[in-house]
């Protein structure tokens, strides 16, 4: 099936016309967002939201962290993982209709620790490749000790929805003749030229997978594959 | 006092050396982040994380939304508001030491509805000005009906901490002689040239507060004032 099933948890109470359930949209947002925000209910019953790196492998979302970190120690646990890309500032003629263009994905689910060594390896490679595609194959693999210190969590993509706003300002008809400017200021996430480590040997060349970064300032949107 | 008090809730279990409690750092992150992520505990006891626009006025953080939205209807309620700025991709020689440079702020607190009309007006102006400084004074103010449809929440900045990672890769000494590139790829949020609304009258000039946006591609960091 090409779309996630809408549920009570994934149907927004506001602006339902912005909701998207197709996998292509959801995957693209998860793949493009550099970080996500992981929400859990803390031991005192209060919400906790922390930024973290994620990676998607098919219909599985992986998170990782130190085995000492609070949320990772508490797994399996209910989580909400949200990834947001801001695409523009929408300046309407009225204060009320100001908005942002954005694409966001909200994943509800149960985060379970991944114990299988093969799946852990796939997940950790995916997390490195999420940051820079191609990098996992070109760095020193994790040692046994490093692996033992790393917790990997999996959330199956099931109760998932995206929300997308695009386009211009939606003003009241009676405001159109007003004296106020209206329009959109585009927002992008841009990668700068790579800054080599001071301890690299002289003449160390930039790896091929970083060349597109240097030449193309915008982080490429990756497909839904 | 120039710093927030560290509490159990605001002391990170991981990388405590990255924690910051000074108001200047916290304010700068909250002011620069276009959106935050609002975490609440849903009626079913599960976490919910939604992106939203915020604004800081002194030691108060304001959120707003439709009076029909789920979290806003549930207020007063415990929230965690997290704002994150990604500054760079840190490519270490080892997979394990890959990281990101970032500045994040986590606010724990009780979100209370703001009923006082004067405080609501200050908060809503601040939210419009958070997106584009100077805009609140140059748009059609909210009508009585629009105000009635808008809920404003306040979270006092008290249980607050920032976390900051900057600088290069931290590699193991034995990896320094390896064949892998290492360094940092800078990440920035960039504003493009404003795109005027199609229905603007011919010859409508760009307002002065948008000129710096057009001339300076990076969203300016605002001070802690």
Residue pair A192/B185 in contact (Cβ under 8 Å)? The answer is yes
Q: How confident is the model at residue B70 (pLDDT cuts 50, 70, 90)?
A: confident
- Following DSSP, what letter does each residue of B107-128 receive, concatenated? EEEEEEE---HHHHHHHHHHHH
pLDDT digits (tens, 9 = 90+) for A86-127: 999 999 999 999 999 999 999 999 999 999 999 999 999 999
- Among A185, A170, A182, residue whose Cα is nearest residue A87: A185
Say yes or no to pLDDT of B225 above 50: no
Buried b (16+ CB within 10 A) or exposed e, A65-97: beeebbbbeebebbbbbbbbbbbbbbbbbbbbb
Among A190-204, B4-18, B130-144, which stretch is predicted with the lowest mean pLDDT? B4-18
Confirm or reject contact between A69 and chain B (CB < 8 A). Answer: yes
pLDDT digits (tens, 9 = 90+) for B47-62: 999 999 999 999 999 9
Domains of chain A: 16-169 (2.30.110.10)
B220 against B76, higher pLDDT: B76
Q: How confident is the model at residue B213 (pLDDT cuts 50, 70, 90)?
A: low
Confirm or reject contact between A121 and chain B (CB < 8 A). Answer: no
Q: Is the peptide bond before B221 cis (omega within 30 degrees of 0)?
A: no
Nearest CA distance, A224 vs chain B (angstrom): 22
Residue pair B161/B106 in contact (Cβ under 8 Å)? The answer is yes
Nearest CA distance, B181 vs chain A (angstrom): 7
Give the per-residue pLDDT at B1. Answer: 65
Of A35, A84, A204, the CB nearest to B51: A84
Say yes or no to pLDDT of A223 above 50: no
| Mean residue pLDDT across chain B | 91
Say yes or no to pLDDT of B64 above 90: yes
Say yes or no to pLDDT of B217 above 80: no
Q: What ipTM is given for this predicted complex?
A: 0.93
Give the per-residue pLDDT at B15. Answer: 80
B68 against B97, higher pLDDT: B97
> How far apart are alpha carbons A207 and B143 in whole angstroms?
57
Residue pair B38/B225 in contact (Cβ under 8 Å)? The answer is no
Sign of CA dihedral B113, B119, B120, B123: negative
| Mean residue pLDDT across chain A | 91
Instruction: Name the closest residue on chain B to residue A192, using Cα atoms.
Output: B186
Say yes or no to pLDDT of A44 above 90: yes
Listed as own residue / partner, the contacts of A100-103 with beta carbons closer than 8 Å and 24 or more positions apart are: A100/A165, A100/A187, A100/B34, A100/B35, A100/B53, A100/B131, A101/A165, A101/A166, A101/A167, A101/A184, A101/A187, A102/A163, A102/A164, A102/A165, A102/B35, A102/B51, A103/A25, A103/A28, A103/A29, A103/A162, A103/A163, A103/A164
Q: What DSSP designation does B192 have?
A: -
> How far apart are alpha carbons A31 and A57 in whole angstroms?
10
Question: Which H or E run includes B176?
Answer: none
Of A80, A146, A183, the CB nearest to B49: A80
Give the per-residue pLDDT at A217. Answer: 41
Q: How confident is the model at residue A221 (pLDDT cuts 50, 70, 90)?
A: very low
Give the per-residue pLDDT at B222. Answer: 45
Interval A139-157 mean pLDDT: 96
Buried b (16+ CB within 10 A) or exposed e, A140-172: bebeeebbeebbbbbbebebbbbbbbeebbebe
Give the per-residue pLDDT at A16. Answer: 82
Give the per-residue pLDDT at B40. Answer: 96
A174 against A215, higher pLDDT: A174
Say yes or no to pLDDT of B216 above 50: no
pLDDT digits (tens, 9 = 90+) for A51-99: 999 999 999 999 998 887 777 788 899 999 999 999 999 999 999 999 9
Say yes or no to pLDDT of A212 above 80: no
Give the per-residue pLDDT at A225. Answer: 32
Interval B197-204 mean pLDDT: 90
Largest CA distance in chain B: 68
What are the structure tokens assigned to A122, written together?
A: 């796939």
Which residue's entry shows tokens 């982040």?
Answer: B33
Nearest CA distance, A20 vs chain B (angstrom): 15
What are the structure tokens assigned to A31, written together?
A: 């793949």
Instruction: Name the closest residue on chain A to residue B207, using Cα atoms.
Output: A181
Which residue's entry shows tokens 């008809």?
Answer: A173
């Amino acid at each position: 099936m090409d779309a996630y099933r809408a549920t009570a948890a994934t149907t927004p109470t506001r602006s339902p016309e912005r909701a998207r359930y197709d996998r292509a949209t959801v995957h693209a947002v998860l793949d493009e967002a550099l970080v996500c925000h992981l929400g859990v209910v803390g031991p005192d019953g209060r919400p906790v939201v922390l930024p973290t790196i994620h990676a998607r492998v098919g219909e599985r979302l992986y998170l990782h962290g130190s085995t000492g970190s609070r949320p990772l120690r508490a797994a399996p646990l209910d989580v909400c993982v949200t990834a947001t890309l801001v695409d523009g500032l929408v300046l309407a003629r009225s204060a009320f209709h100001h908005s942002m263009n954005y694409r966001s994905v909200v994943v509800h689910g149960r985060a379970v620790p991944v114990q299988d060594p093969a799946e852990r390896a796939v997940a950790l490679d995916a997390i490195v490749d999420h940051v820079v595609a191609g990098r996992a194959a070109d760095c020193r693999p994790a040692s046994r000790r490093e692996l033992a210190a790393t917790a990997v969590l999996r959330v199956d993509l099931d109760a998932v929805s995206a929300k997308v706003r695009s386009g211009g300002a939606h003003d009241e008809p009676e405001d159109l003749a007003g004296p106020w400017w209206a329009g959109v200021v585009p927002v992008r996430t841009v990668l700068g030229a790579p800054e080599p480590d001071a301890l690299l040997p002289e003449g160390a060349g930039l790896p091929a997978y970083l060349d597109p970064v240097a030449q193309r300032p915008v982080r490429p949107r990756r497909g839904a594959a």
